[in-house]
Amino acid sequence: MDCSTRPYIQTVLGPIEPDQLGFTLCHEHLYHKAYTSYFVTKPLDNKYVHLNSTPVINENLWYTAYHPHTHEDNLDLTSVEVQNAIENELKFFKTNGGNSMVEVTTFGTDLTRLAEFSRKSNVNIIGSTGFYVHQAFSESIRSKSIENLYDIMKNEFILGVNGIKPGVIGELGSCWPIDSFEKNVLIAAAQLQNELKLPVIIHPGRHSEAPFEIIRIFSEAGGIVSKTIMSHLERTLNIEQLIDFAQTGVICEFDLFGTEISYYEAADNFDMPNDSARICLVKKLIDENYGDHITISHDIHTKHRLMKWSGHGYSHIILNVIPKMLRRGITIEQIDQIMIKTPCRWLTIGQI
């Protein structure tokens, strides 16, 4: 297709027409190796701390479920065994009616691997460019100027990486308080988004002020708020704060579906809601007339949430969440808006 004259969505296998996107998960991970330093976790003071350096196996899942970000092997999705499991899950996702997935890893991502996944599963995969939280990068990266960061992201969009082009900026990582590097990334991304009309997705720090401060910085730098997703809002804002935040015009994302445990290792001051509570948040935004500014996903970034390790997997929303949404009074038209129309509007390049 001629991308120079019409809006398009960029996948790792090339551009597609917007109407080819279909049912879409906007926030997932398929290939990365994270480290415990990327997460704010509780002190390692329990008598089973030695399990953090063991492989994830069924016999220790009781521990991993409560300490997913300190169990080192749980953060590594790069092994052959895990990659084979993810490939099988993508095929399962396609069988169950899934069409597309946005892979938002911005540290050590592998677009070539994502292209292989897409070819084998027939799932449209949209890759990313950008930078995660400052802990994920060396000083040589953190010291780059706004202009340098802008150039890196723009070159990847224009030229690709090994010939493969990303289709989204982010997830852009931010801690709380916002680190100077993370602020520079937000400004660079806002400038690039404004120039090329690109989709952006942001990971906010675990504090209720973080999403508001991020959007302030981003919009002042020229960012297009209506073409930007703010992730993880169910672990960041209560219902009153959420309604206030929706008024900014940003796309509100609830992307931890399948995490059915109130114990939240990464933020002791916040209880993680379950899927029923997430559905209530979605319904509240719909009732407040923000139904066209919602996306949902799983943010699978650990082994224990994959089906092979007894997790819910990438098809959980299709198989379990959507039927419950329908039973809770959310209509199929409203679900289509969340799963198809809003992702399509967000991901279409050259269009606001």
What tokens were used for 287? 């009732």
Q: Is 80 exceeded by the pLDDT of residue 3?
A: no
Q: What is the pTM of this model?
A: 0.97
Token match 């609830």: residue? 254
Give the pLDDT of residue 323. Answer: 98
Closest-CA residue to 121 (of 155, 98, 148, 102): 98
Cα 217 from chain centroid (whole Å): 20
Q: Is 80 exceeded by the pLDDT of residue 320?
A: yes
Q: Is 70 exceeded by the pLDDT of residue 301?
A: yes
Q: What is the pLDDT of residues 48-96, one digit of tens each?
A: 999 999 999 999 999 999 999 999 999 999 999 999 999 999 999 999 9
**Does 18 sit behind a cis peptide bond, omega within 30 degrees of 0 on the bond before it?**
no
> How many Cα atoms are found within 13 Å in the side-chain-facing hemisphere of 107?
19
- Pick 188 or 45 by higher pLDDT: 188
CA atoms of 80 and 344, how far apart (whole Å)? 32
Closest-CA residue to 132 (of 108, 114, 111, 107): 107
CA atoms of 203 and 210, how far apart (whole Å)? 10
* Domains of the chain with CATH codes: 9-42+76-347 (3.20.20.140)
CA atoms of 290 and 273, how far apart (whole Å)? 21
Closest-CA residue to 295 (of 258, 257, 243): 257
The pLDDT-based confidence of 106 (bands split at 50, 70, 90) is very high
The pLDDT-based confidence of 297 (bands split at 50, 70, 90) is very high
Give the pLDDT of residue 325. Answer: 98
Q: Is 90 exceeded by the pLDDT of residue 97?
A: yes
CA atoms of 256 and 262, how far apart (whole Å)? 12
Burial class for 47, CB neighbours closer than 10 Å (0-12, 13-18, 19+): exposed
